[in-house]
């Protein structure tokens, strides 16, 4: 195999980087950037964030002794350069594929990933835990957390900083500021001051001054400390971080390798008893012009042409569920000024960017702050507004306490539009919407719906607009619909009522959500075998259509429920109803098809559902096995 890169080909692990000169680090960074662009053009994935931290990644592994020193990346969107430099470059083109590299940090994948992360704002908390463990074990290893300015919008980051500041534990937090301007940079002078403030001489002088001051009164000592803090805040803009107990350095140019090496070496070597925060200014999408000029900096991309920047687009003309939701909500908002759109830093992912173009004053992006988003929506609801909190299923998990206490207990009509319900493919188990059916249907005062196709989603949005006395939620999957015609905005559902899709005999399949299409495929195969099942679109997990389920249980020998969710959800509630109504004593065979009790690794969605046992073939086999089974479920005390 011919040599592709002058430097990167020689780098297998971070120890190899340490053999290079500072000028060679710059050439290595250029090659890492080129390799990352080339790889992601083939695999798709998160591009802009990684391009913005190439120089930082190279220098971190150059200065620190990873994996003994623990390097923790927040979220993980920006870790592709890190993976290239830590023994995984030969597998980088397997990113986000079945049996390939994860798109995020993953402990089981590499010793260079000390903490797995795919949700935002966890790095400082986990780094502090590792740093305290080091202190308790008398270890001197460095711990470094890299967190983006977007992730700093989450309350968890400030909770961690507050704790770290009072713990007096040595750790380094690198704030990668690539969008929001926390402090205005002033060019070379700011970088120079950052080097001075992080240097040994400054710290030695600072400690000497403290010793001299200690001989005088406490009052004088306090004033001297205040004076130092004031001067540092004037020069560095670090007042907030200083007040939280961090020693603030910056901002500095995060693409200037010379500055990065100097500052990070100083931060590593100084004898400061407490956390240090280094503020870097970087450019998301750095080094690839199409990413630099893109509004989202090519945050997440499909496969693309490097020379033109054109991404592969879906060939389907069928709209995505996300777009169907957004367009339907816009139509309602045109008639109802009380409708409010809320997103937690995912406007395009949830369709709220579409809503915002039409109603900018009625759209609120609260940042990566799902807890706040839910309680903010609750506050709006108390004043008669109709808030729609559009949040991915996996991210709504982060606000469960607020859903319970601030919404459900108060019976406030917040509407939850739950995107990415079910398995999501390349993003893997961290982003799968596996648990929302369970964690919402356990709550009193909730209406929980799931769309079987895009037309049903429209009806559920229509229905939710009229629910003014309690909270409601409707879930829908990632990707395009199935290609059905969309109804108008006046078609609503009767609360708690399902619909019969196919009327058959002996066996009934009760589907909740987007597995209905697979049920219909299974139906066609079963009919060929002489089995004619009833197919039901349940529509509601709460309230259940008790009369329909009772009818199915009494008219059929076998009842099978199916859902894209974990144990404790729709099927569990159906089973409870059957038990309560003594319907299991009538020789009814009931089976519940749910996601298995394990996290399912990234792959193509169709394969993931096959592994989960929720595809058409698995449904067909479940029917045949149940019909042939002699086991009858009896009611237990």
Q: Which of 370, 456, 563, 564 is catalytic?
A: 370
Q: Which of 398, 415, 459, 542 is catalytic?
A: 398
Q: What is the dihedral of CA 264, 268, 273, 274, to 10 degrees?
A: 40
| Eight-state DSSP code of residue 599 | P
Q: Taking the CB of residue 355, how many other CB atoms lie within 10 A of it?
A: 26
* 411 included as an active-site residue: no
What length does the chain have?
637
- Sequence-ordered list of residues with C-beta below 8 angstroms from that of 352, at least 6 positions apart, any chain: 326, 341, 342, 343, 346, 363, 365, 390
**Quick one: tokens of 31?**
């090659």
* 370 included as an active-site residue: yes
Backbone angles phi, psi at 128, to 5 degrees: -65, -40
Cα 340 from Cα 358, distance rounded (Å): 12
SS3 state at 400: helix
**Quick one: tokens of 51?**
């391009």
Q: CB-hemisphere CA count at 13 Å for 209?
A: 14
**Do β-strands 143-148 and 171-177 pair in parallel, antiparallel, or remain unpaired?**
parallel
**Closest C-alpha to 474, from 436, 445, 505:** 436
**Closest C-alpha to 101, from 147, 44, 148:** 44
Cα 445 from Cα 447, distance rounded (Å): 7
**Closest C-alpha to 60, from 131, 146, 123:** 146
Q: Which of 96, 190, 281, 284 is catalytic?
A: 284
Cα 408 from Cα 403, distance rounded (Å): 6
Asked if residue 423 lies in contact with residue 608, where contact means CB atoms within 8 angstroms, the answer is: yes
Taking CA atoms, 381 is separated from 388, 389, 406, 415, 444, in Å, by 10, 11, 11, 10, 18
* 184 included as an active-site residue: no
Cis peptide before 543 (omega within 30 of 0): yes
| Eight-state DSSP code of residue 479 | S
Cα 238 from Cα 243, distance rounded (Å): 9
- Sequence-ordered list of residues with C-beta below 8 angstroms from that of 113, at least 6 positions apart, any chain: 79, 105, 106, 107
Q: Which residues form the catalytic set?
A: 284, 370, 398
């Amino acid at each position: 195999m011919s040599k592709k890169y002058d430097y990167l080909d020689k780098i297998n692990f971070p120890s190899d980087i340490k053999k290079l000169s500072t000028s060679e680090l710059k050439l290595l960074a250029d090659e890492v950037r080129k390799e990352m662009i080339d790889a992601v053009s083939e695999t798709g994935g998160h591009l802009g964030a990684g391009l913005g931290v190439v120089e930082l990644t190279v220098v971190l592994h150059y200065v620190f002794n990873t994996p003994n020193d623990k390097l923790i990346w927040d979220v993980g969107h920006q870790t592709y350069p890190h993976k290239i430099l830590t023994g995984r470059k030969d597998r980088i083109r397997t990113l986000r594929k079945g049996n390939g590299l994860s798109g995020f940090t993953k402990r089981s994948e590499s010793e260079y990933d000390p903490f797995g992360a795919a949700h935002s704002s966890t790095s400082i908390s986990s780094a502090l835990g590792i740093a305290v463990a080091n202190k308790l074990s008398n270890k001197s290893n460095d711990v470094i957390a890299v967190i983006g300015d977007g992730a700093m919008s989450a309350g968890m980051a400030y909770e961690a900083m507050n704790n770290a500041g009072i713990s007096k534990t040595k750790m380094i937090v690198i704030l990668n500021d690539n969008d929001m301007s926390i402090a205005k940079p002033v060019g070379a002078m700011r970088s120079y001051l950052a080097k001075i403030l992080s240097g040994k001489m400054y710290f030695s002088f600072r400690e000497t001054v403290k010793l001299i001051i200690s001989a005088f009164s406490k009052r004088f000592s306090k004033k001297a400390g205040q004076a130092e803090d004031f001067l540092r805040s004037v020069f560095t803009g670090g007042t907030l971080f200083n007040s939280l107990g961090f020693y603030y350095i910056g901002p500095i140019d995060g693409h200037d390798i010379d500055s990065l090496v100097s500052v990070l070496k100083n931060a590593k070597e100084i004898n400061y008893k407490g956390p240090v925060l280094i503020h870097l200014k970087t450019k998301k999408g750095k080094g690839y012009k199409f990413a630099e000029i893109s509004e989202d900096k090519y945050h997440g991309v499909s496969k693309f042409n490097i020379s033109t920047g054109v991404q592969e687009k879906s060939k389907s003309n069928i709209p995505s569920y996300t777009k169907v939701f957004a367009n339907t909500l816009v139509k309602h908002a045109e008639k109802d000024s009380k409708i409010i759109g809320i997103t937690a830093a995912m406007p395009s992912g949830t369709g709220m960017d579409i809503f915002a173009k039409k109603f900018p004053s009625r759209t609120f992006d609260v940042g990566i702050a799902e807890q706040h988003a839910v309680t903010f929506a609750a506050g709006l609801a108390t004043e008669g507004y109709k808030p729609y909190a559009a949040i991915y299923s996996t991210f709504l998990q982060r606000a469960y306490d607020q859903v319970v206490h601030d919404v459900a207990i108060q019976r406030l009509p917040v509407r939850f539009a739950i995107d990415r319900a079910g398995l999501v493919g390349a993003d893997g188990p961290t982003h799968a919407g596996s648990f929302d059916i369970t964690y919402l249907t356990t709550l009193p005062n909730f209406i929980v719906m799931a769309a079987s196709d895009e037309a049903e989603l429209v009806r559920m949005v229509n229905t939710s607009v009229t629910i003014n006395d309690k909270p409601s939620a409707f879930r829908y999957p990632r990707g395009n619909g199935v290609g059905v015609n969309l109804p108008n905005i006046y078609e609503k559902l009767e609360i708690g009522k399902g619909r019969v899709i196919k009327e058959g005999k002996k066996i009934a399949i009760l589907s909740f959500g987007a597995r209905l299409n697979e049920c219909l495929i299974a139906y066609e195969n079963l009919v060929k075998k002489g089995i004619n099942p009833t197919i039901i679109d349940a529509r509601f997990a709460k309230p259940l259509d008790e009369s329909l389920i009772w009818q199915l249980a009494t008219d059929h020998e076998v009842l099978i429920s199916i859902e894209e969710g974990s144990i404790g959800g729709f099927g569990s509630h159906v089973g409870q109803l059957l038990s309560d109504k003594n319907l299991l004593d009538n020789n009814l065979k009931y089976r519940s098809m749910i996601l298995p009790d394990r996290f399912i690794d990234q792959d193509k969605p169709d394969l993931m559902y096959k592994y989960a046992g929720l595809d058409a073939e698995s449904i067909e086999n479940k029917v045949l096995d149940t019909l042939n089974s002699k086991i009858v479920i009896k009611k237990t005390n």
